[in-house]
Amino acid sequence: MTATPATPHAPAGSLPLNPTYRTHMCGALRAAHDGHTVRVAGWAFRRRDHGGVVFIDLRDTTGVVQVVFKPDALGAAAIEDITHTGLESVLMIDGVVRLRGEGLTNPKMATGEIEIDVRAFEVLSRADPLPYALTDDSVPEELRLSYRFLDLRSDDVAATMMLRSDVIASIRQRMWGLGFREFQTPILTASSPEGARDFLVPSRMHPGKFYALPQAPQQFKQLLMISGFDRYFQIAPCFRDEDARADRSPADFYQFDLEMSFVEQKDVFAVAEQVVGGVFEDFKNWNGNGRKAGAMAMTPVGSWPHIAYDDALLRYASDKPDLRCPLEIVDVSDIWAASEFKVFKDIVAQGGVVRAIGVKGATTQPRSWFDTIGKWAQDELGAPAAPGYITWKEGAFGGPLTKFLSEEQIRAMFAKAGVGEGGVVFFVAGKEPGIYKILKDLRLRLGRDCGHYETSIYKFCWIVDFPMFERADDGSVDFSHNPFSMPQGGLHALETQDPLTIKAYQYDLVCNGYELCSGAIRNHLPEVMLKAFRIAGYGEETVKSKFRGLWEAFHYGAPPHGGMAPGVDRIVMLLADSNMVREVIAFPLTQRGEDLLMAAPSAVTEKQLKELHIKVAAK
C-alpha cells in the first residue's frame, strides 16, 4: 500500500453527477477550473494543520484533491469541528478552485496545481478511529482482510480492482466482436467423479441428496454446442475445495470460459491469441502500481511457440515453463552410463536419468557461488546431493567430476548442453518425475544468477499433446488431464494402443511459468466416451448416471467442438505484476479458506440443520 490513490479514468458515457452531492469528481479538477465554484464529496484521506488553517486531501474513486479550511472564511467552530473529524469520514465540500501559490504545486498529484478554498462543508458520515493507518505498508494480511473494505480504499488495491474490471470488459468486447454469445450456466449442479473435490450443497426438498457447486461449466458448455450455439463464452465462477497456493484461491475463482463448434485445435488457439494476447497488449504497461509506460514487451501474437508435453518435461522439467530463462535441460544419461562414475552409472542402470544444464559464461562466478548453489539445492529443493558440475575455463576442464570422464566424453557433454569455453555444465541424477522439481528451479536460479533471464516481458507458449492417461499411485490407469478430451487417433487408438502412450488433443496456455488456461478438442462420440472411461476404471452404468446429460446428448447429433478457459484471476495477477492471486480478488479468502470480514465459514443453527436433514458429527 502506498500513500497516493490511483486515478482510474471514468468510462465514456458515464452517468451525470448528482449536484445534491457533487458537481465535479475530485480527480477531474485542473488549473482550467481556476475560479470555478464546485461541490465535491469523498473521504478525508490526510489532514494537516498549519497554524489554524486545515488542509485535507479529499479522495474519491477518481483521485485526490487538496481542500483548505480557513478560520476567516468558516469560523473557529467549523475549524474545531473539522480538526476533530476522523480520517476516512465522508465530507461534502462547497468551495472555489484556486491555483496554488508559487512553489506550492505538487507534481505527484494530477490535481497538484490547484486546491479548493472551502466556503461550506458537511460531514455526511463520521468515521471511528481507524484500526490501522491506510498508508502503513507493514499491516499484517489478517488485519487487512478483516477490514477489507478499508484495504480496498488504498491506492494499489483499488487500482488493481479497476484493472480487473477493465480486463473483463476488454475480454467481453473482443468476444462480442468475434461473434461469440455470452450464456450463463447453472451454479447448482450434480457432483461428478472427476477433478478436484466438490463443494456440496444439501437439498432441503430431497433429503439425503446434494447439489455440487460447479468446478467448471465443462458439461454445460459442451451441451450448448450440441444445442446448436456455435460460439459461447462466459466469465464463469468456479468452485473447488482445494488447498490454497499463491496463484490459486482455496475455494472459488473466475475463468474466461469459451467453446466453439466445428473447429480444430488451431482455431481455438487463434481466438485465444487474439483475445488473451490483445488484453495483454492493451494492459501490459498498466501503471497503476508504478510500472513505467512502455516497460513491458511480450511474445508477438501469432508466434507463440507450441511445445509438446514430453518435450517440455525434458527441456524445462515442467509443463509450465518460464521461457524468460532461455537455458534448456538435456539428457546425458548415455554419456554417464559409459563413464567411470559409479553413482551415476548405477542410477541409470536402475531406470534413472542424468540431466544437464549448460550455462554460458558461468566460469566468471566465484568458487563460493558453486558452493552456495549446492547448499541451496539441498536445503531448499530437497536434492539428495549438490548438483555436480564441470567447468571449461582457459582451455582446461575443471570440477570434481572431470576425473570420471574422458576428454571426448566431456566435449560431447558440452556440445549437447550447447555451451563452449567459459561455460559450465551442471548435472542432476535421479528418477523421473522426482528430479523435475530440482531441475526446474535450478534452471531458473542459474539463469537469474548468470544473467540469462529476461525481465519486463510476457513470454507465452502452448503446451500440447498431453497424455490421455497416466498411472495412478495405486497402479491403476486414470485420466491425466481432462476426461472429456478427444484422444488422438480416436476410438482406434483406445482399442489398439497402450493407454499410457495415447496423446490427447489437450493443451495449456502458459505465460512466465504460470498456467493461464487449459483446454481441449472435446470427444463428441458416445462410443469413444464409453471406451475412454472404461480404460480409466469407470463402468458403463457410472458413465450413464454421472454424466447423463452428455451421454444422452451425444446420441442426438453432437458437432466436433473444443474450447478452453483462461483464468481471470491469474491474467490480472500477471498484469498487476503480482505473485499473489489474493491481491487481485475484491474479497479473498485466507490461505486457510476463511473470510475474516464476513466470518465464514460459520456454524449454523440446529433448526437449519434439521431442515436439511443433517447432523453434525462430534469432533
**Backbone phi, then psi, for 591, in 5-degree steps?**
-60, -25
The pLDDT assigned to 155 comes to 87
The three-state secondary structure class of 261 is: strand
Let me know: does 118 contact 95? Beta carbons within 8 Å.
yes
In degrees, rounded to 5, the angle at the alpha carbon of residue 132 between the alpha carbons of residues 126 and 138 is 155
CATH code of the domain occupying 26-125: 2.40.50.140
Burial of 594 (0-12, 13-18, 19+ CB in 10 A): middle
Let me know: does 487 contact 504? Beta carbons within 8 Å.
yes
The pLDDT assigned to 41 comes to 98
Burial of 317 (0-12, 13-18, 19+ CB in 10 A): buried
Q: At what angle do helices 436-449 and 367-381 cross, to 10 degrees?
A: 150
Identify the CA nearest to 288 among candidates 45, 575, 12.
Answer: 575
Let me know: does 377 contact 449? Beta carbons within 8 Å.
no
Q: How far apart are CA 221 and CA 260, in angstroms?
A: 9
Cis (ω within 30 of 0) for the bond into 433? Answer: yes
What is the maximum alpha-carbon separation in the chain?
94
The pLDDT assigned to 1 comes to 35
The three-state secondary structure class of 615 is: coil
Counting every residue written for the chain, the total comes to 619
Beta strands in 309-452 (DSSP E): 329-331, 353-359, 388-393, 396-398, 424-430
434 Cβ contact partners less than 8 Å away, ≥ 6 residues apart: none
Q: Is the dihedral of CA 337, 340, 344, 345 positive or negative?
A: positive
**Backbone phi, then psi, for 518, in 5-degree steps?**
-120, 155
Q: Is the dihedral of CA 126, 132, 137, 142 positive or negative?
A: negative
Let me know: does 389 contact 399? Beta carbons within 8 Å.
yes
Place of cell 452531492: 21
Query: Please, where are the H alpha helices in 178-263?
Result: 218-226
User: What are the average pLDDT values for consecutive 10-residue runs of the chain, which has 619 residues?
Assistant: 38 78 96 97 95 95 95 95 96 97 91 97 97 90 94 91 95 97 95 80 93 93 96 95 78 95 97 96 78 74 96 97 98 95 94 97 95 96 94 94 94 96 96 95 97 95 97 90 93 96 97 96 96 93 90 96 96 91 92 91 92 87
555 Cβ contact partners less than 8 Å away, ≥ 6 residues apart: 526
C-alpha cell at 25: 469528481
The structural domains of the chain, with segments of one domain joined by +, span 26-125, 157-286+461-585, 325-453
One DSSP character per residue, 295-318 reads: --EEPPTT---EEEHHHHHHHHSS
Cis (ω within 30 of 0) for the bond into 601? Answer: yes
Let me know: does 354 contact 427? Beta carbons within 8 Å.
yes
The pLDDT assigned to 505 comes to 97
Query: Please, where are the H alpha helices in 38-140?
Result: 71-74, 76-83
Let me know: does 21 contact 92? Beta carbons within 8 Å.
yes
C-alpha cell at 97: 478552485
Identify the CA nearest to 207 among candidates 607, 610, 617.
Answer: 610
Q: How far apart are CA 321 and CA 149, in angstroms?
A: 37
Q: How far apart are CA 356 and CA 416, in angstroms?
A: 9
Query: 170's torsion region: left (phi>0), alpha (psi -120 to 50) or beta?
Result: alpha
Let me know: does 231 contact 560? Beta carbons within 8 Å.
no
One DSSP character per residue, 503-522 reads: BBSEEEEEETTEEEEEEEEB
The secondary structure of residue 245, as a DSSP letter, is B
The pLDDT assigned to 6 comes to 36
C-alpha cell at 191: 457432483
Place of cell 475463482: 253
What's the half-sphere exposure (Cβ side, CA atoms, 13 Å) at 15? 4
Q: How far apart are CA 237 and CA 221, in angstroms?
A: 14
Identify the CA nearest to 33 among candidates 74, 71, 65.
Answer: 65
The superfamily in CATH containing domain 157-286+461-585 is Bira Bifunctional Protein; Domain 2 (3.30.930.10)
Same fold: 157-286+461-585 with 325-453 = no
Q: How far apart are CA 7 and CA 162, in angstroms?
A: 10
336 Cβ contact partners less than 8 Å away, ≥ 6 residues apart: 344, 345, 348, 354, 427, 429
One DSSP character per residue, 133-191 reads: -TT-TT--HHHHHHTHHHHTTSHHHHHHHHHHHHHHHHHHHHHHHTT-EE----SSB--
Let me know: does 604 contact 598? Beta carbons within 8 Å.
no
> pTM for this one?
0.90
Topology annotation, domain 325-453: Gyrase A; domain 2 (3.30.1360)
